[in-house]
Amino acid sequence: MIPMMTDPCVTLVDVSKRYGKGATAVHALREVSVTLPRGSFTAVMGPSGSGKSTFLHCAAGLDLPTSGQITLGDTDLTGMREVKLTELRRERVGFIFQSFNLIPSLSVLNNITLPMRLAGHRPDRAWLHEVIERVGLGERTTHRPAQLSGGQQQRVAIARALVARPDVIFADEPTGALDSATGHDVLMLLRNTVDQMHQSVVMVTHDPVAAAIADHVLFLADGEIAGVLGRPSTEAIAARMSDLRTGTTHAHARV
């Protein structure tokens, strides 16, 4: 187990995920144990195929592990029925994807409030207004996604994730479709949600510059945790990634 702080937001204990069976089985995660801290920004990095997406999907309750236990706060996700998991994802988890995943026919405002409305809740008006202002979309609430830039669309996705005040926001390559300046703005916005709104963010990224904005970087290799760096520089992250790609071993980091 790699404990990163005492107040856990998401905890994985001996989580394994296997795709397929027998000789062709792929072990995407192998007995991963980690505690992700509340109110903190965690980046997840690793070479292609190391299990990052699988980690994110299992931790977010989008996919079930083959074995092991996942808890969100003190709620055990493993063994939860699909209906309950869907409810939990809508109410307690925010998602941000590389491709924004907005509904083209809905306005910015309706995209932002859709998950809450699907969960049968009315958004708190004052909080909705604050979130929209904080992400800088105050002038754009009646626009359709196609009328917005990529950076603005990702801001809609961030507002949509924030509005339900989730326990944790999972972001999968949130800057992957953006140019570097726009990507930086989006990352700073995510950083601010942690620093100013006390959100917990877990972000998968290939980009050492993006990962350097996080408080901790969790490295995966071959489905296993290959270390954690606290507040690392871009250079330190790039060096660790280079070691992982070439198979150089290091003692596992502890925070």
Ligand X SMILES: Nc1ncnc2c1ncn2[C@@H]1O[C@H](COP(=O)(O)OP(=O)(O)OP(=O)(O)O)[C@@H](O)[C@H]1O
Binding site for ligand X (CB under 6 A): 19-20, 26, 28, 46, 48-54
Least distance to ligand X, CB of residue 98, Å: 10
Helix (H, G, I), strand (E, B) or coil at 111: helix
- Identity of the residue, 137 or 241, whose beta carbon is nearer to ligand X in the bound complex: 241
- Identity of the residue, 50 or 111, whose beta carbon is nearer to ligand X in the bound complex: 50
Nearest to 71 by CA among 88, 87, 54, 94: 88
- Identity of the residue, 245 or 252, whose beta carbon is nearer to ligand X in the bound complex: 245
- Identity of the residue, 128 or 226, whose beta carbon is nearer to ligand X in the bound complex: 226
Least distance to ligand X, CB of residue 203, Å: 13
- Identity of the residue, 84 or 245, whose beta carbon is nearer to ligand X in the bound complex: 245
Q: CA end-to-end span of the chain, whole Å?
A: 11
Q: What are the distances in angstroms from CA 199 to CA 42, 123, 190, 230?
A: 11, 18, 9, 18
Least distance to ligand X, CB of residue 184, Å: 21
Least distance to ligand X, CB of residue 62, Å: 12
Residue showing tokens 């942690």: 194
Sign of CA dihedral 201, 204, 205, 209: positive
- Identity of the residue, 20 or 79, whose beta carbon is nearer to ligand X in the bound complex: 20
- Identity of the residue, 25 or 188, whose beta carbon is nearer to ligand X in the bound complex: 25
Least distance to ligand X, CB of residue 171, Å: 13
Rounded CA separation 90/54 (Å): 19
How many contiguous H segments (helices) and E segments (strands) does the chain have?
8, 11
Tokens of 252: 């596992």
Q: What are phi and psi of 243, to 5 degrees?
A: -60, -40
Q: What are the distances in angstroms from CA 179 to CA 150, 174, 175, 203, 240?
A: 9, 11, 8, 18, 24
Sign of CA dihedral 54, 60, 63, 69: positive
Residue showing tokens 């995660």: 29
Least distance to ligand X, CB of residue 207, Å: 11
Q: What are the distances in angstroms from CA 231 to CA 41, 173, 211, 216?
A: 10, 19, 9, 6
